[in-house]
Amino acid sequence: MTPSYKGRFAPSPTGYLHVGNAWVAVLAWLDARRKSGAFILRVEDLDEARSRDAYRQAMIEDLRWLGIDWDEGPDVGGPAAPYEQRLRRGLYEQALARLQEARELYPCFCARSRLLSIASAPQGLFSDEPRYDRRCLRLSDAERVELAAVKQPSLRLHVPDEALVTVDDRLLGRTTARPAEGGDFVVRRADGVMAYHLAVVVDDHAMGVTDVIRGADLFPSAFRQVYLAARLGYAPPRYAHVPLVVDEEGRRLAKRYGDLSLRALRQAGVRSEQLVGFLLWLAGQLDRPEPVRLAEATHRFDLARLPRHPVVWRKAYTAWLQAHADL
C-alpha cells in the first residue's frame, strides 16, 4: 500500500553537510514521521566531477548521528532503487525522449560567456538569474546542423509565455506565476550531465514522493518543476519551502563554512542532542535551546510554527555548542 505521505532529503555529496543542511533534513524528517509517513534519502550526484565517495559516506554517518533514519536509500535499498542519481540516467533519457517527441525541447549552442552577458534580467521570482533570450530557438535547421558540427549543445525546454503555474506552498501560501518569466531552461547540459530540474522531477515521481520540504531559495524552481511535471504527465508533490539558515551578514550557509560542518562539530565533541535542540528552538518548536533527541521531538512538531524569515546562525551558537561539548 502506498503511504499517504512520503518525504525525502536529497543532498549533493560535494562537501560535508553543514548546519544549514541539518536544518532542512531535521524539518523534513520530523514532518514525515509526525504524519507516520515514509522517508527517503536520495543522493543527488549528477555532477560526478564534483561528487566524492568520501562525502557520500560522511553524509550517511552524519545524518544517522543526528538521529535521522530512512525507509529507502542508497545503503538500505528500496523499490525505486538505485537512490544515487548518477545511476539513474536511463530514466532521465526516457523523459528527454518523451519531451523530444512532443517537440518541447530545442538545442542551445550559446557559450556560457554569452549567457552571463545577457542583460535582460527578469523581475520577481527569477530576478537572480538572466533570462535566456531564445536565440537558439529561432535558428534554422541548417544553422543547427552547422553549429552542431563544432559544439555540443545543451537542451532547453521551451516554456510558452502564456503558461501559468500555481504552487500551493504549505508555508508561503498559494502563488501563481509564469515560468516563462525565467526563460526557457536547460534540462540537459552541453557536457551531457542531466540538469537538476529534470532529474528531481523524474525522481520524485518514480519514488512516489508526496511531500518536499526544502530551502526557500528553491521556491522559484517549484514553478519550473511543476510545469515540467505536467509536460511529463506527473502529479507534482506538495511543497513547503522553509526559511534559510544564514550567517550574521545574511549570507546563506554553504559547504565552505568548515567550522559549521556536522563533521567538525562531531569531532569537537558536540552531541547531536545539543544541535537538534538548537535547531528546534530556531524552528519555533522549543521555548529555549535544550538538548533533545530527535525521535522525542516527533509528537510535538508543527511545521506551521516555523518563522517566515531567514534564520540567523550566530557565532555565539557555535561557541556555546563547543564550550558544552563532551571532550
Q: Where are the alpha helices (DSSP H) in the chain?
A: 19-34, 53-66, 89-101, 112-117, 141-148, 196-206, 219-232, 262-267, 272-282, 315-323
Q: Phi and psi of 233, rounded to 5°?
A: 80, 25
Which entry of 6, 35, 255, 315 is annotated as an active-site residue? 255
In 119-199, beta strands by DSSP E = 154-157, 165-169, 173-177, 185-188
Question: What 3-state DSSP class applies to 268?
Answer: coil
Fold of the CATH domain 89-197: Glutamyl-tRNA Synthetase; domain 3 (3.90.800)
Reported as a pLDDT band with limits 50, 70 and 90, residue 256 is low
d(CA 307, CA 247): 16
Please state the rounded mean pLDDT for residues 252-281: 88
CA separation, residue 94 to residues 31, 60, 100, 164, 295 (Å): 32, 30, 10, 26, 39
pLDDT score of 101 more than 90: yes
CA separation, residue 230 to residues 94, 197, 223 (Å): 16, 13, 11
DSSP 292: -
pLDDT score of 1 more than 60: no
> Can you give the residue ranges of every domain in the chain?
89-197
* Residue pLDDT, tens place only, 199-209: 999 999 999 99
Residue in the structure block whose three cell numbers are 550566530: 314
* Residue pLDDT, tens place only, 209-228: 999 999 999 999 999 999 99
Q: How much is the pLDDT for 116?
A: 77
Q: Is 6 a catalytic residue?
A: no
pTM of the complete model beyond 0.75: yes
d(CA 135, CA 139): 7
Residues 6+ apart with CB under 8 A from 3: 37, 38, 208, 210
- Candidates 268, 217, 266; CA nearest to 243 is 217
DSSP labels, 41-81 = E-B----TTT--HHHHHHHHHHHHHHT---SBBTTTB-TT-
Give me the chain's average pLDDT, please.
93
Question: What 3-state DSSP class applies to 261?
Answer: strand
d(CA 259, CA 63): 17
Residue type, 107: P
* Residue pLDDT, tens place only, 162-185: 999 999 999 999 999 999 999 999
C-beta of residue 47 within 8 angstroms of C-beta of residue 193:
yes
CA separation, residue 130 to residues 102, 121, 178, 260, 314 (Å): 27, 4, 16, 31, 32
C-beta of residue 156 within 8 angstroms of C-beta of residue 179:
no
